[in-house]
Structure 1
Amino acid sequence: MSFENQTVSVHYARAVAAAAQDKGFSPSEILQSAAINENMIKSDDMRLTPEQLAKLMQSAWLIEDDEFLGMAATTSRHGVFNLMAKQAVHCKNLRGVYRHLCRFYNLTTTAFTLNFSYDDKIATLEMKLTAPAYDKHHMLTDFLLILWHRFPAWLIGNRIPLISAHLDFAKPAHADEYRLLFPCPIQYEADCTRILFPSELLSAPVVQTPDTLKAHLRRAPLDWFKRQNYYPTFTRRVLDALTPENRFENLQFEEIAASMAMTTRTLRRKLTEEKTSFQEIKSIARRDTAIHLLSRKIIPISRIAHELGYSDAPSFSRAFKEWTGVTPIRYKK
């Protein structure tokens, strides 16, 4: 399984659709542009591919002409982020990127305030929404934190490990998504929304160029939703081993542990520390690979079942319905 196919909660599609409707736009038009059926977002078990969520947001940006998706006290014309990014790519290092990011948005919007600070050990980016009531699904907060984290990391060509993330609201229903979005300790009901990371990274040079930025912006926000490097270490390594090519049903836990030069007991303990298990990872890998393959209409369901290691299509259909609440045929339609 390629981690770029990792799926995301349908919660985010619902939030985009609800905000669009509140602003007088047609949710149907926005959803259809991303090949998302309106009935699909009614199920809490449904998942989206990163491509679907990216297309959904691109559509909303174009139709609403608001990069804040109607979830803030003021709007931000589509293209404002690109303007900031074209300046950021000329910054010397990560410290300069965060300083520029804060200065730019504090000058161009009153929807939120940003503050960047650091000491010898920890760098902190804080954000306060001016009118948090507009962000009732916390979609804008989640998206902006992803943006403040992932885009600077792309600029320096390296991941930014988070020490912790603080959110100024109670633990939401979709909190399970945060284990992947922000792989670090999460504090809820904080006095301010913030991310903390090692300050030693601030001297990392910007390695991207205006030419590479053009391609990055054409794909945006897709690259920010592809979370290749954000699983905890051992979960990531087990996921890397679970691919259709290796046959899901044949690859044993013992083999994976041996490939990591450790005992099964040690690997099981490492996964427990990362709050997961082999069976959970295997189920996630199968589910997300299935959703990705079903989005490619030319692949028959019987072949998908075979690639995922199921003995027949009915067995796969039963498992898929447990994961998503619908059958593969209905999902494909």
Structure 2
Amino acid sequence: MPKMLPMVIQTRARPSTTLRLLCAEAAKHGVSPEACLENTSVSAEMLTDTDASHSTEDEILAIENLMSLVPNNVGLGVAVGRATNVHAFGIWGFAILTSPTLRAAIETAIDYARLSFMIADMSLAVEGDEARLEFDLSDIPQMAQRFILERHLVTAVKFITDLLQQPEFDAFEARYKENAADYAQQLTGITSVPIKIAQPVNALAFPTAILDKPLPKSDAATLKFCLNQCKQLLEQQTGTLPHWSQQVRDTIVDNIGTDQQIEDVAAKLSLTERTLRRRLTDEGTSFRQLYSDARMAVAHELLASAGLNIETVSWRVGYAEPASFARAFAKKYGKTPGEVRKQTNAKS
């Protein structure tokens, strides 16, 4: 019989990436995917389906299976956390990567946590010179808590250093409520982040000063991956376009966070504005239509899937004013951004 988890744990849809990484680590310890997934609703075959999803309950059960099957399980969460990349989350990774500051990136990560690797509730606390990402594990079964906290802490360190583009940045401290000196000693040999035990909260602490510094441009390869996910989304919604329309739409998506004019896109395509207008007319469309469709489709996905707030979505698709974005969105979909976001949050 499957074990029952507390009702407070939401059974929400999660990307297949997280279980795939979990089973990959299990294999290194001689644990088969079938054993790792026992009593879940997920089969080993489903792990290769990039469109597949699973519930939080499934993932916690798989974590408990792994922890019980690997006697020396300290650091399993660290290993999986190191293998987790922001680009694994496609359009939602795009939302993080295009944040102007680390604070905005963290707030976005919290907003879209339902679609990420997160299981524990995460919050940002700031006290003077210290900022903390705090993780609440109180509703998570005891067997899974160590793994989940390890994974969350390591992934947070990786994301922050990636966003700052400072791999040498090491001003972190991991804090554990747990008071097990032997566990802390073993973990210290696995991760370079200093560890404190018997703390009031589970948290990753770092200097407040880095929160509001402008972020450098994100890693080009990673951002390109996320933008490609946006392009695939558009193709799923509207299909493949004629040649020049496709070229224009791809160029728009590559620069979707900025206000774009047809002359800008024409220059990127090595065309004159007049030639580009003529070619789009021949294909039965216009720059204005392609631009609007691309922005609205990405915005709808960020609202409908991630539940990001309206101001954040507006900014990310190149609108200077949320009110202008809201009017265009309502005209396109017959619903306001707030209504779409409300429906999303009601499901979570």
**Under TM normalisation by the shorter chain, which class is it?**
0.3 to 0.5
TM-score, length-normalised on structure 1?
0.41
**Bigger radius of gyration:** 2
Structure of greater relative contact order (alpha carbons < 8 Å, 6+ residues apart): 1
